[in-house]
Structure 1
Amino acid sequence: MSFYVVQFLTGLASAASLFLVASGLSIIFGVTRIVNFAHGAFYMLGAYVAFTLTERLSGAVGFWGGIVLAALIVAVVGVVVEMLLLRRIYKSPELFQLLATFGLTLMVEDLVVMIWGPDDLLGRRAPGLKGAIDVFGQALPSYDVFLMVIGPVVLGALWLLFHRTRWGVLVRAATQDRDMVAALGVNQKWLFTSVFAVGVFLAALGGALQLSRDAVNHTMDLRIIVDVFVVVVIGGLGSITGAFVAAVLVSELNAFGILIFPKISIILVFLVMAAVLIVRPWGLFGKPEAPARRTPGLTVRPWQPLTTNERLASLVVLLAAAALPLVGGTYSLTVGAEIIIFIIFAASLHFLMSVGGLASFGHAAYFGLGSYGVAFLAKLAGLPMIACLLLGPLLGLAGAVIFGFFAVQLSGVYFAMLTLAFAQIVWSIAFQWVGVTGGDNGLLGIWPAAWIATPARFYWLSLAIGTCVVVGLRVLVFSPFGYALRATRDSMLRSESIGIDGKRIQWLAFVIAGTVAAIGGALFAYLKGSVFPDSLGISLSVDALVMVLLGGVETISGAVVGAVVFKALNIWLVSQTDQSKLVLGAVIVLLVVAFPKGIVGILETARDRLRSRAPGKPTALSAAPKLGSAE
């Protein structure tokens, strides 16, 4: 019994640090509506800066002074980031915000390695808290007791800040209605900046306080951000009390899950998150929000079928791609096959986002399920390659059917977070079910059949399947189903008034997108000869989002161009520099801020301008009917 008591208290200590980070994210989202993926980076920076201050300047500032000063320094960094970057994307869709802050996270990861090195750093023990206390015969570290006290103290301080100060009243008002606060003459820019500074301070403080508990390393940002998203969603976006309760719940699930349910311990928190979103989408302590306003990032102007010239250009590109084996070597063919596979993956997400208006943050789940479907059939059932390619994607289809049914009941950031939860559930199963999936050792020896094993033949197979997929999705876009899906995206109420079952249409689109992603995953398994849980991970889902954004959400061919440019750039950067994340992150941030329309969108805009200026072409003004005319 004493062991379980200590385990419970240890869970409360972990909850304190988790609450600090989650409360900061909740405050930022509640006011600014920014889905801040970089929050984990600020947590990591807090730990690294605290290490430097407590080790190099301990005589000047002391240990506790170094902890607080580190949080203040990172808060100043957060203010600079908010003023230079986030102010430009406050009105952008959640997708753009997520990608911009993810790009910032990539940059910080490489900068941290450049400054502090790749090795783990061990901080000193907190003065006066180096021992342990006896709890029913079990030793409980004194520092854990300190953290258990810190959590409620910070919660109380935040309550006083938001309920007993004018600034807090304005923040709570902005959480409820930002437009009304602006109408009352409040400077929203500085209000948002101050809120972001407080949120970053809390995240950095949470990281700094971990210095005496865990080693500091350059992967701690992604490790914490997933749990923080879970806490914020369960507690309710914008609710500090909800963040505290959810942090305790998640920490205790992590503490006891490994003891009671060791086989599914990682899955538990995501199961709880999915259940909360399905039953109460706005969280335990959150409040229902008004429907999100339509933003230009996820809308698509009326599409036109390809012109004759565009069809000829597409055919030339396809023939050039088909001729690559005649001039390319093994490496170029392998890279080409991988790019084609990711074209399939990006095209599936692009179809869901651009036509359906549904931004999935966990689309890699279906890509990975397709890979595992092939691996199971090849390794366990011993089926030939053709049968595996035909039947393997059915596992992704099944996942899309089940997860999509629940996901399409939600919208906006709640839809995105539920897709993320489902993806993490699948990843957790693949990671922990070692007897079937191999865990992090993966499933090896999944090689193509002899008749297709050469790089050239596998490349041609990938190109044929990729072409069929892209053409098939384009046909769907201009089919009655595609028009019904776009009508549902533009206005659910209007589409239902003319007899369109919007939720069923969205569910079917989700299933189609998931199945297409699984086809790409099936090919990927044969390309690599192995399958690992990474094929289901968050990073791959974000890669797909970057490809779509890079090409252009508002375009039809954006996914193809985005996948080609992103994968080629990624592969080239990895081979050319050790700071590939820094460069790639900077490219993502620049793209979101300066070129939100993507490569294809920019080219189409330039083409339209040239056409409007061509001699003999009527401009929009000259073509308009004049006052008093017969028209």
Structure 2
Amino acid sequence: MAHDAGADQNQRVASVEFIVVQFLTGLASAASLFLVASGLSIIFGVTRIVNFAHGAFYMLGAYVAYTLTERFEGFFGFWGGIVAAALVVAAVGALLEIVLLRRIYRAPELFQLLATFGVTLMVQDLVVMIWGPEDLVGPRAPGLRGAVDILGLAVPTYDLFLIVLGPLVLGGLWILFHRTRWGVLVRAATQDRDMVAALGVNQTWLFTSVFALGIFLAGLGGALQIPRNAVTHLMDLSIIVEVFVVVVIGGLGSVLGAFIAAVLVSELNAFGILIFPKISIVLVFLVMACVLIVRPWGLLGRPEGPARQPAGLSIRPWQPMSQNQRLVMLAVVVAAGFAPFVTGDYALTVLAEIAVFALFAASLHFLMTVGGLASFGHAAYFGLGAYGAAFATTMFGMPMIGSLLLGPLLGVAGAILFGWFCVRLSGVYFAMLTLAFAQIAWSVAFQWVEVTGGDNGILGVWPASWAASPAAFYWLALAVSVAGIVALRVLVFSPFGYALRATRDSALRSEAIGIDRSRVQWAAFVIAGTFAGIAGALFAFLKGSVFPDNLAIPMSVDGLVMVLLGGIETVSGAVVGAIVYKALAIWLVSQTDLSKLVLGAIIVLLVVAFPKGIVGFAEDLLARRRAKADDGGAAARTTPAKAPAKAPAATSGSGAAPIAAPKMEAAR
């Protein structure tokens, strides 16, 4: 009995020791996470840029630090290389802000996200070109290579160094922002950029310096990881999700909030896998969702001010298609229907995928442009629709038609549930809550192996025999996608669409005239989720399988890219954007090993050349030509009144013909 009591006592002591060490490990991870998250928070607070490339700069910091520390050995070589790597990455970030972002500050804010996404794609291929695809193991930190005994367990000295470094960086940033003139200007710009500009502050260089500081912190965070973790070309994606979570929980623009949230998230990761192994990935996003629902602006953030330009706000009022435009669109659809007679099976499979993603992009476009609700997690409903069709086919043995009809209901259910919470927020907090719910859905699909198959997915989701050929499935995908896109367009110009646009343009005015803003936006959220679910169900049968990647952030970003590339201020931009983006992505993969580099460069060029999107640029061009033609016609109509007075002078003595008459004819 005494032996059992002693064993229990030893187990409790060991448990306490393990908890302490695990807690310290979490604090060490929190320090690195805080460095990266604080940089993103500072950048967003001043420039309002959701910098999707922040993870890429974190990765660059690690790679550059690896190169420098391998080249220059010793104490000063290592620590000098760490700092130099962060400075090099900061210089690259400042150059990016000057060359690219400064050109598109006047564009809708989401276009800057699109530009940074293009930069991310480019960096992902560049690091593989320069450093290769293999994981790299950096040297251990000189002077910090040992371990310290704490309660009988060894804790790496480097972890203790990171634990001390985090609060030191926090204190340094506090002094910078509260005890220097530059810091005061940055805090002022965070609260009211327009007032700072009115006071004569040069915002151009203020933005550049803030961006460089944020990128320096990201690069430093990456550089400090090389003694702890291997350097890989996938580390940007692994960090950016956690960084977004930290920034949102802490409060956008709050450095102290980012520190507190980094500790919270890191400790959840450290203990979650031990206490709740089945839902360890879900925990962080559940906390994020709860914080956003209870306190939308985060723990230490402030309520969001008015945006520069509401998403979807267009200068020219939208109009339904004219009769001629409808005939042109009908001709395009009919021509697309003849594709099986002139192309091969592979091309038909590609065209079917483009049709599916055109419907997916159109559903997101309806939510973003018509409703003014920018969703960063629209892939949740696409993926849920795909899983719904897979469940109906593999678990319940339903035929393809039944699966296509009932499968999207899972996406509808997700949209009803998630949308009820999301529409209570607005702006970037709405976007981040949609991201949190999408990640929850992805985490469930990834970890619920018994039902979803986990990372192995669900296989054997094949189309029926009548739709098994590439031509038959293409016709099916084309018909469903066209019907869905037409239905969404009809909704845009319906009474519901007008009410939704009213809530987008002015929530206060719409509520004053009796429009229930929350209910209308919730309905729009469900409608968009429904059509995304239909697209997902089609995609499941197109690929014959479903994986958690169908719900992941890259899929949501693809949808955003399609909408923004086509033009967020247009009615038809999403379809054009989907065609251009998917066609480019698929073609480049088959043509080059550097498809991400080329695609990213094309996206950046398109953003700079067409800041309103491809369709927006075309509409502006046509509007200018019509205006020029109208001006020419108006000038021509005024010339006959002056012609009679000048006619005698023009013809007297020489018999020359009047000059104005030919000009008037030319104008006609």
Where on the TM-score scale, by shorter chain, does this alignment land: which range?
A: over 0.9
Structure 2 CA distance for aligned equivalents of residues 369 and 603 of structure 1? 35
- The corresponding residue for 2:290 is 275
Shift of 1:617: 6.8
- The corresponding residue for 2:618 is 603
- The corresponding residue for 1:519 is 534
Within the candidate set 503, 506, 529, 1:491 is matched to: 506
- The corresponding residue for 2:495 is 480
**Structure 2 CA distance for partners of 1:377 and 1:199, relative to 1, 3 Å:** same
- The corresponding residue for 1:147 is 162
User: Does 1:71 pair with 2:86?
Assistant: yes
- The corresponding residue for 2:366 is 351
Deviation per CA, 1:411-438, whole angstroms, max 9, x where unpaired? 1111111111111111111111111111
Residue identity in the other structure for 2:407: G
Deviates more, 1:135-144 or 1:200-209: 135-144
User: Does 1:18 pair with 2:33?
Assistant: yes
- The corresponding residue for 1:214 is 229
Shift of 1:295: 4.7
User: Does 1:133 pair with 2:148?
Assistant: yes
Within the candidate set 406, 415, 424, 1:400 is matched to: 415
**Structure 2 CA distance for partners of 1:210 and 1:511, relative to 1, 3 Å:** same
Shift of 1:556: 1.9
- The corresponding residue for 2:659 is none
User: Does 1:234 pair with 2:249?
Assistant: yes
Spell out the pairing of 1:134-283 with structure 2 (5 A cutoff): 134-283=149-298
Residue identity in the other structure for 1:19: F
Structure 2 CA distance for aligned equivalents of residues 372 and 615 of structure 1? 54
Residue identity in the other structure for 2:584: L
- Please tell me whether the aligned partners of residues 51 and 211 of structure 1 are also in contact (alpha carbons under 8 angstroms): yes
- The corresponding residue for 1:335 is 350
Deviation per CA, 1:290-333, whole angstroms, max 9, x where unpaired? 33243576436322222222122111111111111122221111
Structure 2 CA distance for aligned equivalents of residues 543 and 207 of structure 1? 26
Structure 1 CA distance for aligned equivalents of residues 574 and 312 of structure 2? 15
- Please tell me whether the aligned partners of residues 311 and 368 of structure 2 are also in contact (alpha carbons under 8 angstroms): no
User: The residue matched to 2:230 in structure 1 has which SS?
Assistant: coil
Structure 1 CA distance for aligned equivalents of residues 506 and 430 of structure 2? 17
- Please tell me whether the aligned partners of residues 92 and 295 of structure 1 are also in contact (alpha carbons under 8 angstroms): no
Structure 2 CA distance for aligned equivalents of residues 334 and 560 of structure 1? 18
Residue identity in the other structure for 1:405: W
Residue identity in the other structure for 1:224: I
- The corresponding residue for 2:3 is none
- Please tell me whether the aligned partners of residues 170 and 181 of structure 1 are also in contact (alpha carbons under 8 angstroms): yes
Structure 1 CA distance for aligned equivalents of residues 172 and 463 of structure 2? 61
- The corresponding residue for 2:426 is 411
The list of structure 1 runs, each at least 4 consecutive aligned residues, that deviate by more than 6 angstroms after superposition, is: 620-623
Shift of 1:61: 5.1
Structure 1 CA distance for aligned equivalents of residues 21 and 352 of structure 2? 53
Q: CA RMSD in A?
A: 1.8
Within the candidate set 120, 123, 127, 2:138 is matched to: 123
- Please tell me whether the aligned partners of residues 348 and 517 of structure 1 are also in contact (alpha carbons under 8 angstroms): yes
Structure 2 CA distance for aligned equivalents of residues 610 and 94 of structure 1? 28
Q: Percent identity?
A: 75
- The corresponding residue for 2:63 is 48
Structure 1 CA distance for aligned equivalents of residues 499 and 542 of structure 2? 36
User: Does 1:445 pair with 2:474?
Assistant: no
- Please tell me whether the aligned partners of residues 419 and 526 of structure 2 are also in contact (alpha carbons under 8 angstroms): yes
Shift of 1:355: 0.8
**Structure 2 CA distance for partners of 1:616 and 1:234, relative to 1, 3 Å:** closer
- The corresponding residue for 1:110 is 125
User: The residue matched to 1:553 in structure 2 has which SS?
Assistant: coil
- Please tell me whether the aligned partners of residues 311 and 369 of structure 2 are also in contact (alpha carbons under 8 angstroms): no
**Structure 2 CA distance for partners of 1:130 and 1:453, relative to 1, 3 Å:** same
Shift of 1:591: 2.1
**Structure 2 CA distance for partners of 1:272 and 1:621, relative to 1, 3 Å:** farther
**Structure 2 CA distance for partners of 1:285 and 1:622, relative to 1, 3 Å:** farther
Deviation per CA, 1:231-257, whole angstroms, max 9, x where unpaired? 011001111110110000000000000
After TM superposition, the score normalised by the length of structure 2 is: 0.91
Shift of 1:92: 3.4
User: Does 1:27 pair with 2:63?
Assistant: no
Deviation per CA, 1:362-415, whole angstroms, max 9, x where unpaired? 111100000000111111111111111100000000000111111111111111
Within the candidate set 316, 319, 328, 1:301 is matched to: 316
Residue identity in the other structure for 1:349: L
Shift of 1:89: 2.8
Shift of 1:57: 2.5
Shift of 1:589: 1.6
- The corresponding residue for 1:628 is none
- The corresponding residue for 2:484 is 469
Structure 2 CA distance for aligned equivalents of residues 22 and 580 of structure 1? 29
Deviates more, 1:511-520 or 1:156-165: 156-165
Structure 1 CA distance for aligned equivalents of residues 309 and 566 of structure 2? 21
Deviates more, 1:296-305 or 1:1-10: 296-305
Q: Kindly tell me the number of residue pairs found equivalent between the two proteins.
A: 623
**Structure 2 CA distance for partners of 1:622 and 1:209, relative to 1, 3 Å:** farther
Spell out the pairing of 1:610-625 with structure 2 (5 A cutoff): 610-614=625-629, 618=633
- The corresponding residue for 2:303 is 288
Structure 2 CA distance for aligned equivalents of residues 129 and 189 of structure 1? 41
Residue identity in the other structure for 2:151: F
**Structure 2 CA distance for partners of 1:617 and 1:389, relative to 1, 3 Å:** farther
- Please tell me whether the aligned partners of residues 93 and 211 of structure 2 are also in contact (alpha carbons under 8 angstroms): yes
Structure 2 CA distance for aligned equivalents of residues 236 and 354 of structure 1? 26
- The corresponding residue for 1:316 is 331
Shift of 1:28: 1.2
Unaligned runs of 5+ in 1: 624-631
Residue identity in the other structure for 2:187: R
User: Does 1:97 pair with 2:116?
Assistant: no
Larger radius of gyration: 2
Within the candidate set 578, 582, 592, 2:607 is matched to: 592
Shift of 1:93: 3.0
Structure 2 CA distance for aligned equivalents of residues 347 and 166 of structure 1? 47
Deviates more, 1:363-372 or 1:123-132: 123-132
Shift of 1:20: 0.5
Shift of 1:474: 1.2
**Structure 2 CA distance for partners of 1:457 and 1:25, relative to 1, 3 Å:** same
Structure 1 CA distance for aligned equivalents of residues 375 and 635 of structure 2? 37
Deviation per CA, 1:342-365, whole angstroms, max 9, x where unpaired? 111011011111111111111111
- Please tell me whether the aligned partners of residues 107 and 582 of structure 1 are also in contact (alpha carbons under 8 angstroms): yes
Structure 1 CA distance for aligned equivalents of residues 308 and 333 of structure 2? 39
**Structure 2 CA distance for partners of 1:310 and 1:17, relative to 1, 3 Å:** same
**Structure 2 CA distance for partners of 1:470 and 1:401, relative to 1, 3 Å:** same
Spell out the pairing of 1:522-561 with structure 2 (5 A cutoff): 522-561=537-576
Shift of 1:459: 1.1
User: The residue matched to 2:398 in structure 1 has which SS?
Assistant: coil
- Please tell me whether the aligned partners of residues 231 and 243 of structure 1 are also in contact (alpha carbons under 8 angstroms): yes
Structure 1 CA distance for aligned equivalents of residues 494 and 310 of structure 2? 25
